[in-house]
Amino acid sequence: MSDTLKDFFAEEAVEIFESVEARLIEVEEKGTFSEDDINALFRDMHTLKGSSNAVGFEYFSKYVHYLETFMENIRDKKQKINSKVIEFIIEASDKMQVIFHDEYKNNLDIKEFEKELESLISNIDNLKKEKDITIAKEEEAKEEESPKKVVKSKAFVGEFVDLMNNINDALDLGNKLDEYDDEFLRELFRYVHTLKGTSLFMGLEFFSKYLHSIETLLDMAREKELAYTKEINEYLISAMAESQDIADDEINNDLDKAQYQAKIKELEEGIAKLIVETKLNKGYELFDDKSDDNNEFMLFDDEDVPEKNVELSTRVVKVPKKELNKDVKKDIVKEVLKEQSIHKPQKQTIKKMAATSSIRVGLDKIDFLMNRVGDLVITKSMLFDYSKTLSKEINNRGLIERLEIIDREIRELQEAVMSVRMIPMDSVYQKFPKVIRDLCKKLDKKVNFVYDGENVEIDKLMMEGLMDPLTHIIRNSMDHGFETPQERLKKGKDEVGTLKISTIQESGHIIISIIDDGAGIDVNKVCQKAIGSGAITEEDSLIMDDNEKAMLIFAAGLSTADEVSDISGRGVGMDVVQNNIHSLGGYIKIQTRKNKGTTFKIILPLTLAILDGLNVEIGSQIFIMPLNMILESLQPTKNMIKKVGDDNKEILMLRDEFIPIIRLHEFFSLEPIHKNIEEAMLIVTQIDMNKVALLVDNFLEKEQIVVKSLDKNYKKIDGISAATIKGNGSIGLILDIMNIVDIKMEQSWN
């Protein structure tokens, strides 16, 4: 089997796994399955089984088959639902994912798989024995009263469900088509015809009669005796939904014979009306002219349909024969022949239509496009730069106008490619409820997971790099942060802790906060461990505040755990967190209070690719300030600058706000052009809701820049987030405003 097909299925499978996990966590919280839960989980299992088998996942498909059957038993009320059943499905779905990943990587242990499969079957059998006895007796009583026993063989029921799903999928697709080709009609007829035969084997008398009318209509369309229309397709969607209720009731021997005979008649009359409205092709005798004009027309004869009138739904209209004379028939035939001469056969197949509704593209291809857009941005900057070197005697106004058009087009292209890479944070959040649920059981703790900012979008590349840090932080909070329910009650807390993740966009950054209401970090213990490992000295610890001491948990090899477990204790997890976040161009902060909780705050750039920047002059050097970090800029007057404290720290007074000033030439150890602050320029930015004014010598031009990582190509530099290639071919350095503010505040304001 093609590896490409397996890769495509693997992407789909991962999405389904996430959906299954999220739904099962909700089910466990509710304590039962809703009808929607059951149907959704059954569909997911059915899709996994069918698709995996088609692309060659033999063992995975076999395992999922039993889970699908078990969900089917729940759906058909053959299996009692309780906490034990829910727990079993959650654990089985975990093992299902492990089997999938092992088979995908070609390292599945067949003997181990057979043990897992045997255990699965055994657990299912044991749960079956716990079936509600009352329900079982009621079903047996109904079967004894039934004149005709329904066959409930797994093989027949499984085929029945597959065929119903295939029909509904085809009809849903039919709603998207404007014309219907031969393959569509043949496939739809074949599904209905096979389902009718299967239902007869199962003894579903009324269901098969109901389906017979639909089969006949599709046969007429297939043989081109009837033009299949969107109205017919929509009618059949409604009819198939009705047929599902008939099948369910008949399987459970819970139906009123007269009621379902009426439903069959209702369907036949509805189809008769559709045929008249759609116009029949020449050669099919719809009307019997010798019949009594006072009788109503019936498309299908059936001795079981009652003679008496029945109440019909509003979507069905009775068609008296006296309204359908020969002149009307001739007009219908002419109309149909005219339509057939105009419309060409539909060439698009069902498979083609399904394939073109969406397409999966590898991230490497999107990255390639992004890199090419970046090259275009650099080339555009070079052209603008070159245009400035042209002689003033040459009228280059036309050139500038055309370059501006190119600039707009490149920006639109860049935004389009970027939007493809962006995904909502909800796709990150949904991975954690299962992690937290498993840790709660393992650690005997109770924690409620909440989140907000799920609609904030993040670059997919950044999201993938963020998953490990977030997982490590959550595991650390669960193991070290939260107390047991008994300990929480002793402290006067609710026995159930709360772990919250929130995401916001602020000043061109994405800020992710992980907040728990646990015991907080024991900063003294962390400090002693850090001194013992040589990360800091005793003297260092004396001048550090609690949050600075808490940051020591990121030191390599440091752990406060008394013993190593499978959750934490080796001193590598939090070190990985900081390294991964730095590699994304971000950084992390910690705020902690004893017995109140801990907040981890991750600050990341909004994008890793392209941004707008303002060139600023600081001493003899030119740096790039990200435009999205600038709240406002100004040249201060003398009365706007105040000095406070013993060391005369400079403050900008702006509209009744006192804003600290950071001289960037001092940060980078450069000789300033303007020693007098009133001759320089101030840029006001905001970090964590606090405003800061940055002093630069001059503003230069704005430009769009392509971000290139320094960490990967050189090394991390304080105050510099990344680099870029400028229009003249030189290297430009992009200021890391958050990092600058953090460092200066630590030096000057603590």
Least confident of 306-310, 323-327, 584-588: 306-310
pLDDT of the residue at 748: 56
Does residue 170 fall inside a structural domain? yes
Q: Which tokens go with 27?
A: 């089910």
Locate tokens 């059981």: which residue? 441
pLDDT of the residue at 320: 43
Question: What CA–CA distance (Å, rounded) separates 694 from 37?
Answer: 55
pLDDT of the residue at 359: 62
Check whether residue 520 and residue 657 sit in a common domain.
no
Check whether residue 374 and residue 330 sit in a common domain.
no
Residue 76 pLDDT exceeds 60: yes
Least confident of 221-235, 618-632, 701-715: 701-715
Give residues with Cβ within 8 angstroms of 313, minimum separation 6: 266
Least confident of 181-195, 236-250, 576-590: 576-590
Q: Which ranges constitute the DSSP H helices of 175-229?
A: 182-202, 205-222
Strand-pair category, 657-663 with 690-696: parallel
Range among 323-327, 399-403, 454-458 with highest mean pLDDT value: 454-458
pLDDT of the residue at 84: 87
pLDDT of the residue at 587: 79
Assess contact for 545 and 513: CB atoms under 8 A. no
Does residue 139 fall inside a structural domain? no
- pTM of the entire structure? 0.55
Q: Which ranges constitute the DSSP H helices of 558-709?
A: 573-583, 664-667
Question: What CA–CA distance (Å, rounded) separates 173 from 46?
Answer: 19
Task: Give the bridge partners for 593, in sequence order.
Answer: 597
- In terms of residue numbers, what domain contains 394? 363-423
Q: What is the mean pLDDT of residues 177-189?
A: 86
* Average pLDDT over all residues of the chain: 77
Share of the chain above pLDDT 70, in %: 78
- Check residues 148 and 502 and name the one with the higher pLDDT: 502
Amino acid in the structure at residue 84: K
Q: What is the mean pLDDT of residues 230-242?
A: 89
Question: What CA–CA distance (Å, rounded) separates 213 from 236?
Answer: 11
Residue 291 pLDDT exceeds 60: no
Q: Of 386, 461, 565, 437, nearest to 86 (Cα)?
A: 437
Residue 454 pLDDT exceeds 80: yes
- Check residues 9 and 65 and name the one with the higher pLDDT: 65
Q: What is the mean pLDDT of residues 92-102?
A: 91
Return the CATH number at 662: 2.40.50.180
Number of CB atoms found within 10 A of residue 736's CB:
24
Check whether residue 513 and residue 448 sit in a common domain.
yes
Residue 610 pLDDT exceeds 50: yes
Range among 135-149, 245-259, 645-659, 697-711 with highest mean pLDDT value: 645-659
Check whether residue 232 and residue 305 sit in a common domain.
yes
Residue 144 pLDDT exceeds 70: no
Question: What CA–CA distance (Å, rounded) separates 195 from 201?
Answer: 10
- The band of 711, judged by pLDDT with boundaries at 50, 70 and 90, is low
Q: How is the beta sheet containing 587-593 ordered, strand by strand?
A: 447-452, 497-506, 509-516, 597-605, 587-593
Assess contact for 447 and 477: CB atoms under 8 A. no
Check whether residue 375 and residue 477 sit in a common domain.
no
Choosing from 423, 452, 474, the residue where a domain stops is 423
Question: What CA–CA distance (Å, rounded) separates 136 from 642?
Answer: 85
- The band of 295, judged by pLDDT with boundaries at 50, 70 and 90, is very low
Does residue 206 fall inside a structural domain? yes
Locate tokens 């057939």: which residue? 340
Does residue 541 fall inside a structural domain? yes
- Name the CA dihedral angle for 454, 458, 460, 465, rounded to a multiple of 10 degrees: -90
Range among 15-24, 141-150, 299-308 with highest mean pLDDT value: 15-24
Assess contact for 44 and 101: CB atoms under 8 A. no
Number of CB atoms found within 10 A of residue 365's CB:
10
Residue 480 pLDDT exceeds 50: yes
Number of CB atoms found within 10 A of residue 507's CB:
18
Check whether residue 563 and residue 445 sit in a common domain.
yes
Q: What is the mean pLDDT of residues 38-47?
A: 87
Q: What is the mean pLDDT of residues 283-311?
A: 40
Range among 28-37, 394-403, 667-676, 685-694 with highest mean pLDDT value: 667-676
Return the CATH number at 104: 1.20.120.160
- Residue 461 burial by Cβ neighbours in a 10 Å radius (0-12, 13-18, 19+): middle
Does residue 347 fall inside a structural domain? no
Does residue 351 fall inside a structural domain? no
Check whether residue 415 and residue 559 sit in a common domain.
no
- Check residues 359 and 171 and name the one with the higher pLDDT: 171
Choosing from 556, 581, 605, the residue where a domain stops is 605
Least confident of 255-259, 415-419, 531-535, 560-564: 560-564
pLDDT digits (tens, 9 = 90+) for 530-561: 888 787 888 878 888 888 888 888 876 666 55
Least confident of 60-69, 267-276, 360-369, 700-709: 360-369
Does residue 441 fall inside a structural domain? yes
pLDDT of the residue at 255: 66
Check whether residue 514 and residue 444 sit in a common domain.
yes
Check whether residue 498 and residue 554 sit in a common domain.
yes
- Check residues 474 and 749 and name the one with the higher pLDDT: 474
Choosing from 334, 355, 375, the residue where a domain stops is 334
pLDDT digits (tens, 9 = 90+) for 731-745: 889 888 878 887 877
Number of CB atoms found within 10 A of residue 585's CB:
23
Check whether residue 287 and residue 368 sit in a common domain.
no
Residue 513 pLDDT exceeds 90: yes
Residue 457 pLDDT exceeds 70: yes
Check whether residue 478 and residue 504 sit in a common domain.
yes
Residue 675 pLDDT exceeds 80: yes
Give residues with Cβ within 8 angstroms of 103, minimum separation 6: 57, 58, 59, 60
- Check residues 217 and 587 and name the one with the higher pLDDT: 217
Locate tokens 């090259």: which residue? 375
Return the CATH number at 380: 1.10.287
Number of CB atoms found within 10 A of residue 88's CB:
18
As for how many domains the chain has, the answer is 5
The distance in angstroms from the start CA to the end CA of the chain is 64
- The band of 706, judged by pLDDT with boundaries at 50, 70 and 90, is confident
Strand-pair category, 597-605 with 690-696: unpaired
Check whether residue 597 and residue 631 sit in a common domain.
no
Q: What is the mean pLDDT of residues 715-719?
A: 80
Does residue 348 fall inside a structural domain? no
pLDDT of the residue at 155: 47
